[in-house]
Amino acid sequence: MTTLVLITLTDPGEGLTEAEIIDIKVSVGDRISINDPVIEVETAKSAVELPSHVGGTVTRVLVAVGDEVPVGTPLIEVDTDGGPAPAGSAADAPAADAPASAPAPDGPSAAASASPAEPAPAAPAEEEPKNLVGYGSTEAPPRRRRRVQPAADTQVPIDRILAKPPVRKLARDLGIALADVFATGPDGTVTREDVLAAQQRAIGGDTVSVHDGDYFPDESPQAPETLPGTMKSSLSQPFAGYTSDDRTTRVPIRSVRKRTAEAMVSSAFTAPHVTVFNEVDMTATMDLVGRLRASREWADVKISPLVVVAKALLVAIRRNPEVNASWDEASQEIVYKHFVNLGIAAATPRGLIVPNIKDAHLLTLRELAIGINDLAKTARAGRTPLSATREGTITITNFGVFGIDSGTPILNPGESVILGMGAVKEKPRVIDGQIVPRQVAQLAASFDHRLIDGALGAELLRDVSAVLEQPDLGLVWG
């Protein structure tokens, strides 16, 4: 007897409620084994491959690339008896365990609207339905975000994405979702050039920028060709769900962008922000970075000014521990933290994410450098786990990598301080009555005024600045 099992969207990590389908790795008729990856989804912060919990033959694909589905949604139907895909069981066939009244879907996307009557696979009447992770849900059909068909003269995206393993790895390393890549290879295969073109579209002509102080744009974005009196988006080719005309371009709000917007609105209208600024002489810090880069002991570790700024902030927090706190509205308490989970803001093609280094206050300068570099690599690859974005206490954002001098950063929700670092530039300074060239940067510290008074916020920024101007103070104060 044929036994059909549904693989559903389970929570791949810590409270996921929904995800977007960005790659389907199997098709009808494929043989799969337990733990084979079948679907890749984009969660609030990263891309995650979902493995199969059963082995057998794929009989139906119930979702399409670009769909946004809640946890519990059926994704793949598998015949666990191991035989070939039964006739008529392709994506345009009704589910074997669907209610008789359910309309037969007409394709992979439409098939997703069919909701099984029972979460368990078909079984003899005398057997109790199995209760395994990944079985179907009895809830109402999920809301779908459907792909809009592009104009006839554009390349048409494909729901079953074909790409060789090196191309898939390149896409992961660059943080590019294959759903956003328009294939030009034979039979709709995604090529290396297609992925690189998608990267250019995603960031307007720059390379991936991660706020670790060492990833800079290779060149300035090229202005797109436009007709007189018109302005064109830098999105030269459409993304999934894209619509465009001569006047506007519309792109669906994707998972990371949506979460970022929700978090920033919540923070801006919950915590009363105050920002203080200071111009810092970074000459001694830049000399230290240069010496470390030239030393054999640091040959295997990437050291940047941001690492020293992070260490200076940790030293300043040790001197002003009251800044490391959060406001608990529900219990009407101020929670003082005896640890520092240091967030590092990272700009990726998927949007802004803020992974944090756990217990950063316990790390040496070298360990801190390794931690920041690891966060950057993981963010670039789009593999930041949700756990790395939780329980942050204080964050650093480096807008200096874009050549920007200063800004007013917004707090990460639940955190008390965010330190912004501007570009390090050579400027004239007066020292002992003489005008001399120095390496100078602007620091901006935003803080929650419910928790931190102006004097305390100023003292924190003053101490950070003092360590950067005289790094040996870190030995005395740390």
User: CATH code at 451?
Assistant: 3.30.559.10
- pLDDT the model gives residue 213: 40
Any domain includes 126: no
Residue 310 pLDDT class (50, 70, 90 cuts):
very high
Give a yes or no: residue 12 inside a domain.
Answer: yes
Parallel, antiparallel or unpaired: strands 74-79 and 56-61: antiparallel
User: What's the whole-number mean pLDDT along residues 204-211?
Assistant: 39
Catalytically annotated residue among 211, 273, 338, 449 = 449
Domain membership of residue 227 (yes or no) is no
* Domain with 383 in it: 258-477
211 is catalytic: no
Q: Which of 468, 445, 469, 449 has its CA nearest to residue 458?
A: 445
**pLDDT tens-place string over residues 367-406:** 999 999 998 888 877 778 778 888 999 999 999 988 999 9
Find the CATH number of the domain harbouring 74. 2.40.50.100
The rounded radius of gyration (Å) of the Cα atoms in the chain is 26
For 306, the enclosing helix (H) or strand (E) is: helix 305-319
Mean pLDDT of the chain: 75
**Span 292-298, mean pLDDT?**
93
pLDDT of 189: 80
Pairing assessment for the beta strands 434-448 and 273-281 based on DSSP bridges: antiparallel
Last residue of a domain, one of 57, 84, 111: 111
Q: Residue 130 — pLDDT band, cuts 50, 70, 90?
A: very low
**CB atoms near residue 12 (< 10 Å):** 17
> What are the E-state strand segments in 16-83?
18-24, 31-32, 37-42, 47-51, 56-61, 68-70, 74-79
132 pLDDT band (50/70/90 cuts)?
very low
Beta-sheet pairing, 333-336 with 243-244: unpaired
Contact predicate 387/357, CB 8 Å: no
pLDDT beyond 60 at 79: yes
DSSP 141: P
The stretch 200-221 carries a mean pLDDT of 41
> What's the total number of domains in the chain?
2
**pTM > 0.85: yes or no:** no
CB 377 within 8 A of CB 33: no
114: tokens are 């069919």
Short-list 182, 220, 216, CA closest to 199: 182
Q: What is the pLDDT of residue 214?
A: 39
Residue 143 — very low, low, confident or very high, per pLDDT cuts 50/70/90?
very low
pLDDT at 218 over 60: no
Q: Which of 70, 92, 111 is the last residue of a domain?
A: 111
Q: What is the pLDDT of residues 237-275, one digit of tens each?
A: 444 555 667 777 776 666 666 777 777 787 877 888 999
Q: CA torsion angle for 96, 99, 101, 107 (degrees, to 10)?
A: -40
Domain-embedded: residue 229: no
Distance of CA 250 to the CA centre of its chain: 21
- The answer to whether the CB of 250 falls within 8 A of the CB of 399 is no
Continuous H helices in 185-254: 192-202
Out of 62-71, 120-129, 394-403, the most confident range is 394-403
Query: Looking at residue 102, what is its pLDDT?
Result: 38
Residue 242 resides in a domain: no
Query: Would you say 138 and 115 are in contact if contact means Cβ atoms under 8 Å apart?
Result: yes
Predicted local distance difference test score (pLDDT) of residue 159 = 41
| pLDDT of 320 | 96
Asked, for residue 441, whether it belongs to a domain, the answer is yes
Q: For the chain, how far is it from start to end, CA to CA, in angstroms?
A: 70
What is the pLDDT, as a whole number, of residue 243?
A: 66
* φ, ψ (nearest 5 deg) of residue 39: -140, 140
Residue 177 to residues 158, 254, 462, Cα–Cα distance (Å): 13, 11, 42
Q: Please indicate whether residue 382 or residue 353 has the higher confidence score (pLDDT).
A: 353
Enclosing H/E stretch for 459: helix 454-469
Res 348: pLDDT: 74
Measured CA to CA, the distance from residue 179 to residue 162 in angstroms comes to 11
* Residue 444 in tokens: 């901006």
Q: What's the pLDDT tens digit per position in 7-37?
A: 888 865 555 677 888 888 999 999 999 989 8
Does residue 269 sit within a domain? yes
The token duo for 434 is: 């003489």
Give the strand pairing for 68-70 and 342-344. Answer: unpaired
Question: Is residue 308 domain-resident?
Answer: yes
What's the CA gap between 343 and 258, in Å, rounded?
Answer: 20
Q: pLDDT tens digit string along 329-347?
A: 888 899 999 999 999 998 8
Q: What DSSP line would sit under 316-355, residue for residue? A: HHHH-GGGSEEEETTTTEEEE-SS--EEE-EEETTEEE--
- Mean pLDDT check: name the lowest of 33-37, 87-91, 134-138, 424-428: 134-138
Q: Taking the CA of residue 278 as centre, how many other CA atoms within 13 Å lie in the half-sphere pointing to its CB?
A: 19
> In Å, how far are 133, 135, 248 from 74, measured between CA atoms?
12, 8, 35
Residue that terminates a domain, selected from 111, 145, 177: 111
Question: Closest Cα partner for 397 from 384, 387, 412?
Answer: 412
Identify the residue with better confidence: 268 or 470: 470
Residue 361: its pLDDT value, please? 95
